[in-house]
Chain A
């Protein structure tokens, strides 16, 4: 039983392409997040959604567009990929806003060539 799942696990693409990463949680949580982890393991929040509503947008370039079709899903679409977008992207969820415990997915390793 996977709590937070992401697809794909690996993504290799050329600069300038558009790609999407999907996330699903089966924990019944209200809040979902996207994080970016760079090559130095620094994990930084990008977005959070609560019941399909955008709560946090951490000055991420507008080439990144999250979409939450329902509270169990939070997808990330990236336009015009750049070399600097190469990183591991983690989806996470928590029971509600302002909660300490976040459950992370396995990550999507994006490589832009």
Chain B
């Protein structure tokens, strides 16, 4: 079993829809949670970062962490074609030197 599980999709939604992307993890020691966005043929870029449980909002993006169920989510409101990319969740143990990534969900927003 992978430490971080993520449905690879693909996920295709119409422009303007609310998108929900999710990951589950198995190690309760994970305390930092991130979402990276990766456009085709590019490197991942950090989109959202959350420490421990709770919500964090940045514009159209909301990251949510529920440590009790080991579940992390990214919501995209008013989705745009420019949001089409692969979204990778990542986790980290406090004090550790490495990120553990999910497989990534490929998202397409159709105009």
Partners in one complex: yes
Known: A100-B92, A104-B44. A42 touches B98 (CB 8 A): no
Known: A56-B98, A101-B46, A104-B45. A41 touches B8 (CB 8 A): yes
Q: How far is the CA of A101 from the CA of B42 in the complex (A)?
A: 17
The size bracket of the interface on B is 20 to 34
- Which chain B positions have C-beta within 8 A of A56? 97-98
Contact of A41 among B32, B99, B106 (CB under 8 A): B106
Q: How far is the CA of A98 from the CA of B49 in the complex (A)?
A: 14
Could you list which residues of chain A lie within 8 angstroms of chain B, going by C-beta atoms? 4, 31, 33, 40-45, 48, 50, 55-56, 58, 90, 92, 97-98, 100-107
Known: A48-B97, A104-B44. A42 touches B49 (CB 8 A): no
Q: How far is the CA of A107 from the CA of B39 in the complex (A)?
A: 12
